[in-house]
């Protein structure tokens, strides 16, 4: 066991982030890796037990972390996004949640052997999915926008509803038992829930108003939001347990739909905080489990209950609630299967386990075991199958990683056409219809609109694209586009053209702090590249083989040619840039912008070879 709390906290954070990196590196579900790491550190090897070591601080830390995570997720719930999906989403989070609650309670009673009281509490609890598990899976699976939005909205909205249902079930149980309560306790519960929603909306409106009127300086905006979220959660939760989750969800949705630019700017900061909290909290929760809890998971009743929840309760609730909507059968199958449980289920289960035991329900002792069994089984099963199933159902974006080009021009069109010929998804975006004329004439996919507009995310599906190239004539605009989309594409995959070096423009220092990586060699600016295309330069594709190695290719290439990128057999694209010069290997395709003289020589060589073969054949025929 580790004696120092500071050292333990450092190890937990390191394990969480290391799990996230390992999941990214080997394309594994992050929640699965974090769960396994936590189990190994806690009950398996006994390095530490956070719940025992942190004592009374453990539950408040978990609760506040869940509040921040849920708030960050609700910041993405813009009502414009759900346009056209309102009916299915509403049905799933209301009628579907109710069916899931009832069926889950029946399964808990008849299959898991729990009393009716505990069964109805756990049935309400198990309708939750939540952003802690859904959002990482959606990023991994690359689902099409429609099913992805349904799963995201359900996960974030149902999280507080599930916690409230568990509280409501418990209040009903206590009322029926008649232990020191009166009917007013139920009324107080409903009033507390309504107060939590009003408090969340008020906090959201208040923060939004202060930001819009300039009452909060830019450097204090993130700390102010963070503090208000904690205050909003704490006030509501102190009045009635678990209503704090409802309050922060209402606050996040209010801010999301006010469309304040400051909130959009800090959203990425919130995402980073949320990722850190998810990584830390999941390791803490799994490391706090005991060996007895893990052994209880392998009980026959527990296994049967989990299988019933996966294969009967969830699909039945989704198919029933979405009956008569415009969801396709494939979408219903996917949504009916994907329902991983996460942090909220574990934290609320641990709370109700102690509360129900104190109330005299001895069977509540296995509540944590059943909850963890469902959590771990669902994150493993859904984490490893969401990609495969979405492809089988035609609901994922397949194919190699694509390229999004901002800025229409002769060079952009030529580059896009070359990528298309290599079977790479590509799209040119520009706000000018005229600048897109060359793309339209050559049949290149294009989007007419301002890429920096918030409307773009509703009309343009960016899921197929992993690389961004800002290729307009304005260096400052290119830098702005790259800076805006760095959180989506990553700095390594965000590129802009070389600076134009016009008189009066001094952006050389600026580009090191903002913007994307500089493409190609120095001097390959917008003007230079388009001049080359207009002067007859051609996009040349060269296959690297064992006979024609990359070294031979470099030795033969024209000195005036410009190396653009290397396409790997896996579909990955390595662009040549100022700071990195990739090396091609056997099987790769190297694309360059070659002067017409060199291309003319190649054509002449081919014609000469063709004549030589023809003459040789004629001579053989004469003989």
Q: pLDDT tens across 195-253, in order?
A: 999 999 999 999 999 988 888 888 888 889 989 999 999 999 888 876 888 898 889 88
Query: What is the pLDDT averaged over residues 259-266?
Result: 70
Q: Is residue 615 part of a domain?
A: no
Residues 383 and 437 in one domain: no
Q: Are 304 and 111 in contact (CB under 8 A)?
A: yes
Q: 66 and 116 in one domain?
A: yes
What's the CA gap between 155 and 74, in Å, rounded?
Answer: 10
Domain that holds residue 183: 5-392
Is this structure's pTM higher than 0.85?
no
pLDDT tier for residue 306 given thresholds of 50, 70 and 90 = very high
CA dist., res. 566 & res. 576, Å (int): 8
Place of tokens 């969401």: 386
Q: Is residue 180 part of a domain?
A: yes
The whole-angstrom distance between residue 326's C-alpha and the CA centroid of its chain comes to 25
pLDDT-derived band at 514, boundaries 50, 70, 90: low
| Together in a domain, 68 and 146 | yes
pLDDT (tens digit per residue) in 50-74: 988 888 888 888 888 878 877 877 7
Q: Are residues 310 and 408 in the same domain?
A: no
User: Could you tell me the pLDDT band of residue 429, with boundaries at 50, 70 and 90?
Assistant: very high
Question: For the chain, what is the domain count?
Answer: 2
For the segment 113-127, the average pLDDT, to the nearest whole number, is 88
Work out the average pLDDT over 437-450: 90
Task: Give the span between the Cα atoms of 271 and 487, in whole angstroms.
Answer: 10
Domain boundary pick from 366, 392, 418: 392
CATH number of domain containing 531: 3.40.50.720
Backbone angles phi, psi at 358, to 5 degrees: -65, -30
CA–CA gap between residue 420 and residue 405 (Å, rounded): 13
HSE of 231, CA atoms in CB hemisphere, 13 A: 11
Residues 284 and 419 occupy one common structural domain: no
Q: Are 316 and 339 in contact (CB under 8 A)?
A: no
618 part of a folded domain: no
CATH number where 332 lies: 1.20.1530.20
**Sheet holding 494-496: strands in order across?**
446-448, 426-430, 402-406, 465-470, 494-496, 517-518
Q: Which of 373, 392, 411 is the last residue of a domain?
A: 392
Q: Which residue has the higher pLDDT, 377 or 84?
A: 377
Closest CA to 416 of 481, 467, 343: 467
The overall longest dimension of the chain from CA atoms, in Å, is 115
**Distance between CA 230 and CA 108 in Å, rounded?**
34
Position 621 in a domain = no
Q: Whole-number mean pLDDT of the chain?
A: 83
**Last residue of a domain, which of 392, 410, 430?**
392
pLDDT at 286 over 50: yes
Q: What is the pLDDT of residue 511?
A: 46
Per-residue model confidence as pLDDT tens digits over 80-115? 766 666 788 888 988 998 999 999 999 999 999 888
Q: What is the per-residue burial (b if ≥16 Cβ within 10 Å, else e) of 328-365?
A: eeebbbbbbbbbbbbbbbbbbbbbbbebbeebebebbb
């Amino acid at each position: 066991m580790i004696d120092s709390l500071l050292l333990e906290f450092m190890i937990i954070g390191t394990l969480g982030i290391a799990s996230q990196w390992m999941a990214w590196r080997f394309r594994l579900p992050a929640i699965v890796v974090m769960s396994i790491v936590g189990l190994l550190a806690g009950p398996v090897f006994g390095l530490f037990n956070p719940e025992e070591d942190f004592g009374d601080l453990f539950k408040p830390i978990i609760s506040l972390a869940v509040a921040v995570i849920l708030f960050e997720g609700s910041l993405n719930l813009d009502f414009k996004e759900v346009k056209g999906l309102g009916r299915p989403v509403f049905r799933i989070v209301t009628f579907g949640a109710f069916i899931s609650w009832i069926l889950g309670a029946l399964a808990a009673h008849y299959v898991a052997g729990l009393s009716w009281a505990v069964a109805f509490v756990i049935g309400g609890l198990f309708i939750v999915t939540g952003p802690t598990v859904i959002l990482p899976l959606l990023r991994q699976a690359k689902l099409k926008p429609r099913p992805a939005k349904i799963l995201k909205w359900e996960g974030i909205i149902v999280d507080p509803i599930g916690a409230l249902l568990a509280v409501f079930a418990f209040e009903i149980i206590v009322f029926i038992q008649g232990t020191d309560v009166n009917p007013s306790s139920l009324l107080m519960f409903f009033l507390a829930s309504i107060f939590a929603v009003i408090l969340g909306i008020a906090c959201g409106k208040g923060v939004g108003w202060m930001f819009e009127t300039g009452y909060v300086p830019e450097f204090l905006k993130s700390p102010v939001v963070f503090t208000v979220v904690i205050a909003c959660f704490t006030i509501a939760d102190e009045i009635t347990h678990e209503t704090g989750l409802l309050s922060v969800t209402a606050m996040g949705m209010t801010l999301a739909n006010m469309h304040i630019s400051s909130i959009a700017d800090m959203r990425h900061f919130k995402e980073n905080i949320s990722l850190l909290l998810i990584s830390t909290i999941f390791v803490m929760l799994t490391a706090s489990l005991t060996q007895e809890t893990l052994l209880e998971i392998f009980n026959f009743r527990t296994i049967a209950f989990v299988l019933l929840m996966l294969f009967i309760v969830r699909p039945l609730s989704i198919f029933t609630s979405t009956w008569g909507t415009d969801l396709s059968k494939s979408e219903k199958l996917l949504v009916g299967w994907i329902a991983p449980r996460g942090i909220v289920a574990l934290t609320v289960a641990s709370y109700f386990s102690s509360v129900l035991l104190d109330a005299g329900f001895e069977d509540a002792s296995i509540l944590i075991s059943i909850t963890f069994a469902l959590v771990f089984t669902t994150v493993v099963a859904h984490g490893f199958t969401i990609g495969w199933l979405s492809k089988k159902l035609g609901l994922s974006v397949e194919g190699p990683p694509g390229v999004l080009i901002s800025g229409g021009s002769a060079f952009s069109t030529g580059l896009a056409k070359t990528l298309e010929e290599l079977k790479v998804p590509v799209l040119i975006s520009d706000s000018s219809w005229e600048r897109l004329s060359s793309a339209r004439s050559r049949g290149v996919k294009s989007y007419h609109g301002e890429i920096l507009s918030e409307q773009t995310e509703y009309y343009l599906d960016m899921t197929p694209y992993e690389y961004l190239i800002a290729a307009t004539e304005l260096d400052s605009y290119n830098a702005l586009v790259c800076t805006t989309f760095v959180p989506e594409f990553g700095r390594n995959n965000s590129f802009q053209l070389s600076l134009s070096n016009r008189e009066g423009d001094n952006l050389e220092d600026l580009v090191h702090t903002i913007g994307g990586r500089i493409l190609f060699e120095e001097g390959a600016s917008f003007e230079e590249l388009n001049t080359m295309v207009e002067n007859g330069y051609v996009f040349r594709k060269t296959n690297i083989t064992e006979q024609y190695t990359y070294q031979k290719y470099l030795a033969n290439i024209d000195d005036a040619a410009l190396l653009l990128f290397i396409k790997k057999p896996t579909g990955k694209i390595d662009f040549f840039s100022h700071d990195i010069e990739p090396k091609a290997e056997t099987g790769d395709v190297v694309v360059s912008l070659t002067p017409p003289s060199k291309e003319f020589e190649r054509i002449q060589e081919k014609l000469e070879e063709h004549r030589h073969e023809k003459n040789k054949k004629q001579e053989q025929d004469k003989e």
